[in-house]
Amino acid sequence: MSRNNPLTFGGALREGRAMLKAAGKSDYALEAALLLEHAAGLTRAERILRENEPLPAQADTIYQRFLSERENGRPLQYILGRTANPIYIFLPLAAVLFLLPCYGLWRYGVRHYKSSGS
């Protein structure tokens, strides 16, 4: 995208929000912010502090590519390079294994409860 004046971080974010909103993305504001941060290599705080600074041309090019990929339906986690950790598959099992002793302790407490009056 060719521009006469340099685009700021804030301007790029507004453009990205509008683009993703038009594409029907429900979390368009968050997604635009995450894509901009990833394209520019910034943290959220750094992006907020640089809101009025010009966006480097290379970061703008990468950001526009990310936006078009997201607009075309590519998953956000894939664009950001965050892959699912295989250990997450076992978290429901860990939850059940935690709940079994909890249930046993609760049953023990109910069986041995003695009222203190009233």
The predicted pLDDT at position 5 comes to 55
- The pLDDT profile of the chain, 118 residues, written as one tens digit per residue, is 455 556 899 999 999 999 999 999 999 999 999 999 999 999 999 999 999 999 999 999 999 999 999 999 999 988 998 877 788 888 899 999 999 999 999 999 999 998 887 6
| CB atoms closer than 10 angstroms to residue 68 | 12
The residue extents of the domains of the chain are: 9-87
Segment 68-73 long-range contacts (CB within 8 Å, at least 24 positions apart) = 70/20, 70/23, 70/25, 70/31, 70/35, 71/19, 71/20, 71/23, 71/25
The predicted pLDDT at position 88 comes to 80
Second-level CATH architecture of 9-87: Orthogonal Bundle (1.10)
Is this structure's pTM higher than 0.85?
Answer: no
Classify burial at 48, counting beta carbons within 10 Å of its beta carbon; exposed 0-12, middle 13-18, buried 19 or more: middle
The predicted pLDDT at position 86 comes to 81
DSSP state of 84: P
Pair of tokens at residue 68: 């078009």
The predicted pLDDT at position 89 comes to 85
